[in-house]
Amino acid sequence: MRRRELLKGAAAMGAAIALNRKTAFASAASSAADSRIEVLLNEPVGTISPAVYGHFTEMLGAVVYYGIWVGENSKIPNTGGMRKAVIEKMRQIKAPMVRWPGGCFADSYDWTDGIGPTAKRPERGGFWRGEPNSFGTPEFMRFCRLSGAEPYFAANVRSLSALAFDHWIEYCNAPADHSSLGRQRADDGSREPYNVKYWGVGNESWGCGGNLTPAEYSEEFRKFTTWTPGYGEPLKFIGVGPGSEDLDWTEQFCRATFSGKRGIHPKSVYGWSIHHYTWDLARGRTHDWDAAKGDALKFDVQDWYEVFREGGRVEHIMQSNWDVLGEYDPDHHIKLVVDEYGSWYKPGSELDPSHTLGQQITMRDALLTAQTLDIFNRHAEKMGIGACAQLINCLNSLFLSHEDKFIVTPNFFVFDMYQSHQGANSIRTEFSAPQVSYQRDGQPASFWGLNGSASIKGKSLTLTVVNPHATEQREAEVVIRTGSISSVEIAVLKNADIHAHNTFDHPDAVAAASEKVAASGGAVRYAFAPASVTKLSITLA
């Protein structure tokens, strides 16, 4: 009986899809736009910091070991031990920044274990698993240099002292002839200082990073960041922001850190870290960390939409933290650092058991990632750094590898398409489109129909757009207010199957493609495919 009902439901859904496709086709044929996107060239939001397009690599599972680091003697093509394919793809997307070594791992890591001759480095238990320490600070810095990314270190606050933090900075930034640690770095291969600017002071200090109260964390933060020698580098400290939407953490930290006799000036803090994972797909049935997770590959249309609803909450989290910070830092010296974000599903889709927290990445995750990057762009004036968690063989990854096999995921194409936003000026853009309406556990639900962001660099305008509708295209009139279009190039990531993903056997099942479209004057008409991410590269006259 239930099965018959399910089949009936499926048949009805199939008919609805066919009808939707027809409607979409009919509307395209009669060329009646159902949506409008207006780019307001005269309303700049702020420069998009390139670091917003950063990545996160934790000493976890197969992220660093065998993902990035295969070792110098490996048969896998490598440059100085780093998997060549990763380096090449990082360069292709102009990866601006990488955060390391954690994550929760950071607060268990003694950085001195990962320097000096490899053979003499100790093996440790490690937070996630055994830690051989063959990849340490010198290797991470080599990885950054090879891939063209700036380093962002996360320091251990839970189990190391402020002095150990000072020493790590000294090892990285002191001149080679200045001190033993500077000389040690030179012996490890770099006479030139690493000039590391970005330092995260702990990680999730309200949880795995020490279970501290905001007042306790504030005390540590002030100790770690006061009179810390940078050796000529203007150090940019990043404080640990709240778990989830716990604004009380932000409020109490700010009060304890910035006000009163011992208060420090917000000018001395670069950023405020926010983590937001899209993991709770239970639609309110439970909020249990394990039970509420969805499946990376087996999902229905409701689960598809739920990811965008959940992922979109980051915008509210960003805004509410910004508002609290503003009470103590009205000039907004402190920027938002969203240094862990992405989907987090239950285990089972990882490509190898060694991929701790590994999962497959489908079109759904690509749209989630694009949605997140568009949010960052729309808040360019607030955003300092973003870091997608995590680069390879883990949660919201761009790459998957095992032994000599290597593939890019749909997320990679999003970063590739969006790279032209880096360093460009974000422009206010209005999206008007029919809402996505669907049944959410029998209740009518709806959310935005088209969304995205625009930015400009000289005469090059980048407009990126997500159409989250699983089956309907959106025919939009794109208007560049006060601008005239010389040419438009389109790159689109789409697939008829919302579950589409790449595998070692089918590495090119999902890939971005280019399209042509004619435009004249200040407007262009374009049909945004269902379940797609699209970039319009517009050259202005």
Residues that bind ligand AHR (CB under 6 A): 58, 102-104, 203-204, 275, 340, 357, 389-390, 395
**Residue 179 and residue 171 in contact, taking contact as beta carbons nearer than 8 Å:** no
Q: State the nearest-atom distance from the C-beta of 272 to ligand AHR, in Å.
A: 15
In whole angstroms, how close is the CB of 265 to ligand AHR at the nearest point? 28
Could you tell me if 271 and 236 are in contact, meaning their C-beta atoms sit under 8 angstroms apart? yes
Task: Give me the least distance between CB of 59 and ligand AHR, in Å please.
Answer: 10
The nearest distance, CB 127 to ligand AHR, in angstroms, is: 8
Q: For ligand AHR, which residue has the nearest CB?
A: 103
- H-state helical runs in 312-405: 313-328, 363-378
Q: How far is the CB of 434 from ligand AHR (least distance, A)?
A: 36
Give residue for tokens 């870290």: 273
Burial classification of residue 537, based on how many CB atoms lie within 10 Å of its CB (0-12 exposed, 13-18 middle, 19 or more buried): middle
DSSP count for the chain of H helices, then E strands? 11, 23
CB closer to ligand AHR, 254 vs 395: 395
**Enclosing H/E stretch for 443:** strand 443-447
Closest to 467 (Cα-Cα) out of 489, 485, 448, 481: 448
Closer residue to ligand AHR in complex, CB, 153/305 = 153
- Min CB(154)–ligand AHR separation in Å: 9
Helix (H) / strand (E) containing 45: strand 35-47
Of 110 and 381, CB closest to ligand AHR: 110
Q: Tell me, what amino acid is at 276?
A: H
For ligand AHR, which is the closer residue by CB, 158 or 474? 158
Q: What is the DSSP letter of 346?
A: P
Query: How many Cα atoms within 13 Å fall on the side-chain side of residue 5?
Result: 2
Nearest to 83 by CA among 72, 92, 96: 72
For ligand AHR, the closer of residues 58 and 472 by Cβ is 58
The continuous run of DSSP H or E covering 7 comes out as: helix 2-29
In whole angstroms, the minimum distance from the beta carbon of 291 to ligand AHR comes to 18
H or E segment at 402? Answer: strand 399-402
Contacts 24+ apart (CB under 8 A), 178-183: 178/231
Place of tokens 């290797």: 139
Minimum gap (Å) between residue 102 Cβ and ligand AHR:
5
Find the shortest distance in angstroms from Cβ 155 to ligand AHR.
13
DSSP conformational letter for 357 = T
Nearer to ligand AHR, 343 or 377 (CB): 343
Whichever of 156 and 203 has its CB closer to ligand AHR, that residue is 203
Nearer to ligand AHR, 411 or 534 (CB): 411
**CB-wise, 154 or 334, nearer to ligand AHR?**
154
Q: Which of left, alpha, beta for 516 (phi over 0: left; psi -120 to 50: alpha)?
A: beta
Is 308:468 a contact under the CB 8 Å cutoff? yes
Q: Which amino acid is at 500?
A: A
Which residue, 344 or 431, is less far from ligand AHR as judged by CB? Answer: 344
CB of 220 to ligand AHR, least distance (A): 17
